[in-house]
């Protein structure tokens, strides 16, 4: 069994981790960090101390009424994406330990499409100018 990094647990909830394949388990938010434990394989777990969290990126749909997933970007080890039963409760628990300025909303589908079209047309203009 894996030893938890938390000494006090604020929230435990069912969740899904998108690490390659989808893993089902539980998220545990406590005083020392964010943890995900797989329900089937005890060797598959994610432990992120609060000092290591750079940003929390939230996918917001329908003007904040639906949050399908959120990601935790670390300073050294990349980005981990999760989904849970009550994402607003999870994000409120994270906000206690992470600065709210570091909790950002991800780009919407239309923003991504707009950026891609702008980059395509700017590349064409740069080629024509040369």
Alpha carbon distance 91, 121 (integer Å):
38
Report how many domains make up the chain. Answer: 1
Cα dihedral 71, 17, 85, 8 in deg (nearest 10) = -80
The pTM score is: 0.76
Q: Is residue 130 domain-resident? A: no
Q: Is residue 32 domain-resident? A: yes
pLDDT digits (tens, 9 = 90+) for 53-78: 888 888 877 776 778 888 899 988 88
Is residue 130 over pLDDT 70?
Answer: no
What residue numbers bound the domain in which 83 lies? 9-123
Q: Is residue 1 domain-resident? A: no
Alpha carbon distance 118, 35 (integer Å):
39
Is-contact 36 15, C-beta < 8 A? yes
Of 96, 90, 92, the residue nearest 13 (C-alpha): 90
Q: Is residue 109 domain-resident? A: yes
Q: What CATH number has the domain bearing residue 51? A: 2.30.29.30
């Amino acid at each position: 069994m894996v030893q938890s990094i938390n000494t006090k647990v604020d929230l435990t909830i069912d969740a899904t981790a998108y690490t390659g394949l989808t893993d089902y388990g539980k998220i545990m938010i406590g005083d020392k960090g964010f943890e995900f434990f797989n329900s089937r394989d005890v060797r598959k777990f994610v432990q992120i101390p609060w000092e290591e969290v750079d940003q929390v990126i939230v996918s917001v749909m329908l003007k904040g009424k639906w949050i399908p997933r959120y990601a935790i970007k670390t300073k050294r080890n990349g980005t981990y994406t999760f989904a849970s039963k009550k994402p607003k409760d999870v994000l409120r628990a994270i906000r206690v330990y992470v600065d709210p300025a570091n909790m950002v909303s991800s780009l919407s589908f239309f923003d991504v499409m707009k950026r891609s079209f702008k980059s395509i047309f700017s590349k064409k203009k740069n080629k024509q100018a040369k």
